[in-house]
């Protein structure tokens, strides 16, 4: 039985934020991640930009840039979209087994 689980933010909670910087050391390598988030409310999209840098002790640097754009859905839209493919679609909020309208995050469980 195929199961699909996804989490997604409440559309009005997502804001333009950033940059956020994570600076971690793993072994001898240093990992620096810088994130930005831009909300496009008129089209219910959020754009994530991420710069990842891996610094090695010998001075070598590996870096890459990620630029993703995601749709922001309401619980009702998730149920409608999921219902096209899955037989059962349940949406919960804030990692509880109930749906609250003022939640910051939702998660969907879809079973074929």
Secondary structure element (H or E) that encloses residue 81, with its range: helix 75-83
Secondary structure element (H or E) that encloses residue 79, with its range: helix 75-83
Query: Whole-angstrom Cα distance, residue 79 to residue 94?
Result: 17
Q: Render each residue's pLDDT in the chain as its tens digit; 112 residues.
A: 899 999 887 766 666 667 889 999 989 999 999 998 888 877 888 888 999 999 999 999 999 999 999 888 888 999 999 999 999 999 998 777 777 777 778 889 999 9
What's the domain range around 94? Answer: 3-111
Q: How many domains does the chain have?
A: 1
Q: Does pTM top 0.85 for this prediction? A: no
The candidate with the shortest Cα–Cα distance to 5, out of 69, 95, 71, is 95
CATH assignment at residue 8: 2.20.25.110
């Amino acid at each position: 039985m195929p199961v699909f689980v996804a989490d997604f933010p409440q559309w009005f909670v997502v804001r333009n934020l950033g940059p956020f910087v994570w600076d971690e050391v793993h072994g001898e390598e240093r990992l620096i991640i810088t994130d930005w988030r831009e909300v496009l409310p008129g089209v219910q999209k959020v754009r994530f930009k991420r710069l990842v840098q891996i610094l090695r002790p010998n001075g070598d640097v590996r870096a890459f840039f990620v630029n993703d754009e995601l749709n922001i859905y309401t619980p009702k839209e998730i149920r409608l979209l999921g219902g096209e493919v899955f037989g059962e679609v349940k949406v919960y909020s804030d990692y509880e087994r109930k749906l609250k309208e003022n939640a910051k995050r939702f998660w969907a469980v879809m079973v074929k």
